[in-house]
Amino acid sequence: METVEQLRDRLLARFPSAAVAAVTNPGAAAEHSLLLGAAQAREIAEFLRDDPVLRLDYCSNVTGIDWPEKEITDTVKSTVPDPAGGPSKVVETKTVRVEPGYLEAVYFLYSMALKHGPVIVRLRTANRTDAVTLPSLTPVWRSCDFQEREIFDLFGIVFSGHPDLRRLLLWDEFVDHPMRKDYVEPDDYEWEPTAHDEVLVRAKAHQAAVAAAAAAAPVPVVNPTSSAS
């Protein structure tokens, strides 16, 4: 089986205008991955499936990841001479930059025919707000169907070209995506038929707040009519 770097080089040779990068995993499993640009991801996926050396004919799992924006501190060390003629000093200069957030869909590919894998492929959105569309790989691997729907439901990635993209676990009217790291749970649990423990406490607090707001609201005054029937 080729390494991720070898796969990257072969894909770039086959698709010279594509965005393909190797992403290393520092963990013990060392399951490195390929980051594909969205523009040619579907075409590359078909190549991974059909190439006689790879024949990655099965997608076992698709998962979503939320990467919120974060502050990164860069430290630069420089040597400054001593004006008095003493030894030079090492000075650290720190700058803070903001790395924009994004969402990822991660695909785990195997070859059932050749008995190898996984090859891990990542697709990344432009941001977490208004540019969250990625190409669906369900037309390439049918097993991606429900898993892409789950990611759409829980993370909010929109998979263009999916044959039936709709929520899978939550109802259509549900607002937001619960697997986002900045998701805030609602305090209205009226839909919970057997509220208990923390859910029951929050539900009661919500009901009390609604009742207090209703009691404090001004009562509308209806002007009586002067005409009599």
CATH at 158: 3.30.460.80
Q: Are 195 and 118 part of one and the same domain?
A: no
Q: Is residue 209 part of a domain?
A: yes
H/E run at residue 219:
none
Left if phi > 0, otherwise alpha if psi is -120 to 50, otherwise beta: which for 156? left
> How far is it, in rounded angstroms, from Cα 136 to Cα 133?
9
> How far is it, in rounded angstroms, from Cα 117 to Cα 56?
8
Q: Are 127 and 31 part of one and the same domain?
A: yes
Q: Is residue 229 part of a domain?
A: no
Per-residue model confidence (pLDDT) at position 177:
95
Q: Are 201 and 157 part of one and the same domain?
A: no
Q: Are 134 and 212 part of one and the same domain?
A: no
H/E run at residue 42:
helix 41-50
Per-residue model confidence (pLDDT) at position 193:
63
Which residues fall within 8 angstroms of residue 75, CB to CB, at 6 or more apart? 92, 93, 94
- Residues β-bridged to residue 59: 109
Q: Is residue 9 part of a domain?
A: yes
Q: Are 139 and 61 part of one and the same domain?
A: yes
Longest dimension (CA), the chain: 107
Q: Is residue 40 part of a domain?
A: yes
Q: Is residue 91 part of a domain?
A: no
Q: Are 112 and 208 part of one and the same domain?
A: no
Q: Report, in angstroms and rounded to the nearest whole number, the Rg of the chain calculated over CA atoms.
A: 27
Per-residue model confidence (pLDDT) at position 198:
78
Query: Of 178, 155, 142, 159, whose CA–CA distance to 66 is shortest?
Result: 155
Q: Are 118 and 147 part of one and the same domain?
A: yes
Residue 128, CA atoms < 13 Å, CB-side half-sphere: 22
Name the one residue in this structure whose structure tokens are 């029937």: 229
Question: 65 near 154, Cβ under 8 Å?
Answer: no
Q: Are 113 and 194 part of one and the same domain?
A: no
Q: Is residue 84 part of a domain?
A: no
Domain extent, residue 192, equals 186-216
Per-residue model confidence (pLDDT) at position 161:
97
**What is this structure's pTM?**
0.79
Q: Is residue 77 part of a domain?
A: no
Residues in the chain, pLDDT under 50: 229
Q: Are 195 and 162 part of one and the same domain?
A: no
> How far is it, in rounded angstroms, from Cα 219 to Cα 224?
15
Tally of domains within the chain: 2
Query: Of 71, 74, 77, 120, whose CA–CA distance to 100 is shortest?
Result: 71
Q: Are 56 and 109 part of one and the same domain?
A: yes
Q: Are 122 and 170 part of one and the same domain?
A: yes
Q: Are 145 and 208 part of one and the same domain?
A: no
Q: Is residue 221 part of a domain?
A: no
